[in-house]
Structure 1
């Protein structure tokens, strides 16, 4: 008993020497801690739930399941999907493939970076070193947010002499010039001069078939393809009949033709340019890039002669929109913005922005098909560009139209019903740029947009949606494209919610990890799409969503030194290591933004995963 009483004081002294350390947040900040649970410092800083003393913070034990508990990002539908088909993936999960890697990053580290982004993100106007083009990018754009992260990254992250705008593909760095005539401006151009630019009838049909299968389903500008096909066949028959250069129609002056016929030729050349571009990507034949640009010039020549600026028509607007899409895919989104504004003004002049009359003829109609087809195409292109540049949309929206309610009332939802609702939502989000900035957007507004995207994802997963169980290759492509764009927009909303200082500390951290999960799903959808369709290599909008997600996610991983992607970026690093070349058909005459963005991503992945990635200074 005596020996036992002697050992007790030594045990007490040992416990006093091993006094518990301060909580993790106080140790990181190097401030005094009162060793309570929660401590007084964490209570004063309004985050008592983040206070923890053990090896893994209590907060991160909660964050590992936040995707299930958070009302803004939890799964809202359990629609059965066939195990044989790739179900529509939603961002309501922690990490990717079950990865939970949140415990390696402290909340205050994330908040310090987010506060830095919120403070330093400003709109920019830069001049491209190679092309001399001036580009304006708003403060909510991904390019601007990435610019603020460069202070945390090594100096050689950006390949010289590229700017951040070039990395994100918002500069004009290729040779498409639709406003330059291929003919002598002092001579009168004949229709024979223009028609001689057409290839053989078989090649024209091949280009049209490519347009019909690859481009048109995801950007439907021509509402009546049957009428266009009949006109195409008539032109090709005339082309075959004109075997001799001295025929009367071959020498007919283009200025003497009716404007409607010239507008039809302009639309024909625009479709051939788009189809040739699709063949270029599918067949990996870079020589077709020049043919596509020749078709663009021919189409614009017809539009100029038809006097589209003074006498616009549905055909001239359609040709203008298809040309804008081709030029955008060629790496010239700035030119596309100019053409989009012109098309929107002309369409409004023709009354195309007004709603169609529905079969129900109800004044309170909530049917889905109430938007003019050409105006719908304008809104789609406007949604893509305004979100990328963070600019105010050029199209107008009806305040009384509730597209979410329309989806709820519909008995059957197709791809374009869900996709167009997403474009509408993006346009509404971008329209806030004229009233406020991302640092002052009220919390309720961001939460409402997240709620709407969540509802949109729920409708896409429901039994009445064609996206839930795709039964064909085209349906699978539609599902992947919708998933990619939905996750990218929702990830963007979560990222802005994390940046906003108006949110609570806990919500900002949760929104940040929700954004990284969304960006992971964007990458996964893109990698699946890459194997199935040339649209993944062709569409500037799809490439932009993938590239922005991958670069932002890789930058955060490098800065935080944590695995936020659950192995997705590591898989991407291996795929890029096996790639033969970074050059593409867009890289003539100067290195395109596509190459600059891929090289930047390579350098970021080399910093994060140095072993599987080649030397970033190579190539």
Structure 2
């Protein structure tokens, strides 16, 4: 009877059985020839920490396309010739935009093994040795890492009580950004925050991701709590939503809302962003979006006066970045060149944040710049951008704060670093060097922002002269002259900047720069009685008074009333009291033409912090010590 069966029917049955057998396992399990439980994602892919690549309908390689098409044709002919065979159902293809929510940077990393599945280990670790000696795409290294306890195993954030996918989806719907929030606050982030603190490594691509999100939102994908959108519930897209919320929080801080409303919205968006981070399991499955989100949230904390919390959060951010291997060129050498350049920029952003906080607090930084070589072209080019000059300045800041012998360094060391910074600044784009070359508002703002940061850097490099006020050697004289110029330039740049933008009054680093600079002008004996210095001090006080810092000082104990940090409030109070004392003394001496400070009702008197001298004549030899006592004594 078997002889009567048509040969084509035999081929058709064998082919259909073969297809059924292949379709039972996902593509990663078929490639590894391991057991698959046919779930989506399957248990094996979840255990190996790559559920995002668990796929069943994967296109065959190009060299098999022709053969596959011929087999499909034969099977189709056989289906039309017999009534017993069931029709073959074509696999449904996902829409072309299905991967859009996960940014291109994330996808590149995932393909190259440095996304959520890649855990950095040093060359001498067992995991790295196995990874380098085996050729199974690191699966054995992952297994050994898990056995040795060197790899996380939780697929969801363990500190949340969300047991099902439905619970996770409902929580995501609760925190997703509304269309009105995106349209209102992202523009403020793009215009006022990102240009002066460029944390996003691919802002153009991020804008496309926002467009994808808004299209999905308009299509109703986030409307139904009972209908889960699989493409938005995986860790990558949830991480993108967290990053969007973080940028909106930063944008709200720079918006045109009143202070109290602005503060409430900023904190609400930040809380939702951090909740989305939990949903993406950021602590156990860090990604590049995770690092960018945490950096922006840390900056928002800092700009709202919570610099200590920002410092603590930065420590976690750095550790997660090291988990991905972002801290060295060697650890991401297996990635494409364009991804490596983005990784460099992201680690440079981490260095940027750590440098500003470490210099301001005079604390040892947690980051290192040794893993990435300095781009040598900056010493030969004459078109350095604002960001490039800032990256060099921040590397210099890390070098200063990590130098344990800086108190005993020769004066020539500080002069050398100062000349190096001068050289880089002279290689900047023309509008950055001179305001006369600015041809647009943005160029003016970049010039003034860089002027403030450069002045702060110079004031740090010249502090040995301020600490040794009695030494009158020529090298110290050079540093003293540069110190005075930097303090004056920082105050002038701030006053010019705030006339054009809200950025300097909302940026923690710029507030710190102007307050520390004007306070040093006030207490340093070489500038204390200088007419220009006194005029700048009074103008700075008036700016903070008009901007609402009075309300901040009155409500400094309030949980949500914090605009300036406690340290900056103490600096502003001390500066105001000191200048008022000088002005009152001048009036008593018969000089009524002295500039007038805001009235007592507009700027109420506050007592100096305990333990500080009430009279400036009691200041010791080092104004730096006095400044540190104001900033750091509780």
Question: One fold, TM greater than 0.5?
Answer: yes
- Whether contact under 8 Å (1:497, 1:511) holds in the other structure is yes
Partner of 1:379: 351
- Cα separation, 2, equivalents of 1:522 and 1:244: 48
CA distance in 1, matches of 2:175, 2:373: 46
Task: Kindly report which structure 2 residues correspond to 1:130-209, keeping only aligned pairs within 5 A, or say none.
Answer: 189-198=167-176, 200-209=178-187
Q: Report the counterpart of residue 369 of structure 2 in structure 1.
A: 397
Q: Which residue of 2 aligns with 1:511?
A: 479
Confirm whether residue 448 of structure 1 aligns to residue 419 of structure 2: no
Q: Which residue of 1 aligns with 2:460?
A: 492
Q: Structure 1's 221 and 391: CA in aligned 2 closer, same or farther, altered over 3 A? A: same
Cα separation, 1, equivalents of 2:240 and 2:545: 46
Could you give the per-residue CA deviations for residues 567-594 of structure 1, whole angstroms, max 9, x where no partner exists? 3224445556766662249954266524
1:478-501: CA deviations, max 9, x gaps?
110111111111122222234248
Distance 2:242 2:279 in 1: 10
Alpha-carbon distance in structure 1 between the residues aligned to 2:276 and 2:548: 40
Tell whether 2:314 aligns with 1:340: yes
Deviation at 1:245, TM superposition (A): 6.1
Q: How far apart are the structure 2 equivalents of 1:511 and 1:462?
A: 26
Q: Which residue is equivalent to 1:274?
A: 250
Distance in 2, matches of 1:571 and 1:414, equals 31
Q: Which residue of 2 aligns with 1:230?
A: 208
Is 1:436 matched up with 2:415? no
CA 1:503–1:185 in structure 2 vs 1: closer, same or farther (change >3 Å)?
A: farther
Q: Say which SS state the counterpart of residue 497 (structure 1) adopts.
A: helix
Specify which of 343, 353, 368 is matched with residue 327 of structure 2. 353
Unmatched 5+ stretches in structure 2: 1-156, 332-339, 585-593, 607-634
8 A Cα contact 1:356 1:371, kept in partner: no
1:184–1:311 Cα change, 3 Å: closer
Q: Matches of residues 512-527 of structure 1 in structure 2 within 5 Å? A: 512-527=480-495
The answer to whether structure 1 residue 312 and structure 2 residue 280 are counterparts is no
Aligned-partner Cα distance in 1 for 2:224–2:543: 56
**1:409–1:437: structure 2 CA closer, same or farther, 3 Å change rule?**
closer
Stretch of structure 1 that moved more, 576-585 or 511-520: 576-585
Cα deviations across residues 511-545 of structure 1 (Å, max 9, x unaligned)? 33431221111000000110111211211111111
Aligned-pair CA distance for 1:398: 3.1
Unaligned runs of 5+ in 1: 1-180, 358-367
Q: Is the 8 A contact 1:516 1:565 kept in 2?
A: no
Return the match for 1:535 from 473, 491, 503. 503
Task: Report the alpha carbon displacement of residue 471 of structure 1 after superposing the two structures with TM.
Answer: 1.5
- Bigger helix share: 2
Q: Are the counterparts in 1 of residues 245 and 270 from structure 2 also a CA contact under 8 Å? A: yes
By relative contact order (CA 8 Å, sep 6+), the higher-ranking structure is 1
CA distance in 2: counterparts of 1:316 and 1:548, whole angstroms: 33
The residue number in structure 2 matching 1:19 is: none
Q: Aligned equivalents of 1:580 and 1:316: distance in 2?
A: 34
> Per the alignment, do residues 601 and 261 of structure 1 end up closer, same or farther by CA in structure 2, a change over 3 Å counting?
same
Supply the RMSD in Å over aligned alpha carbons: 3.7
TM-score, structure 2 normalization:
0.59
The CA deviation string for residues 223-264 of structure 1, in whole angstroms up to 9 with x for no partner, is 2223322322332333344499654347x899x932112211
Q: Deviations over 1:23-50 (max 9, x none)?
A: xxxxxxxxxxxxxxxxxxxxxxxxxxxx
8 Å CA contact 1:207–1:275 kept in 2: the answer is yes
Pair 464,565 (structure 1): closer, same or farther in 2 beyond 3 Å: closer
Partner residue, 1:414: 385
Q: How many residues align?
A: 421
Rounded to whole Å, the distance in 1 between the matches of 2:230 and 2:431 is 57
- 1:4-43 equivalence runs, <5 A: none
Matched-pair contact (CA < 8 Å) for 1:558–1:607? no
Match of 2:4 in 1: none
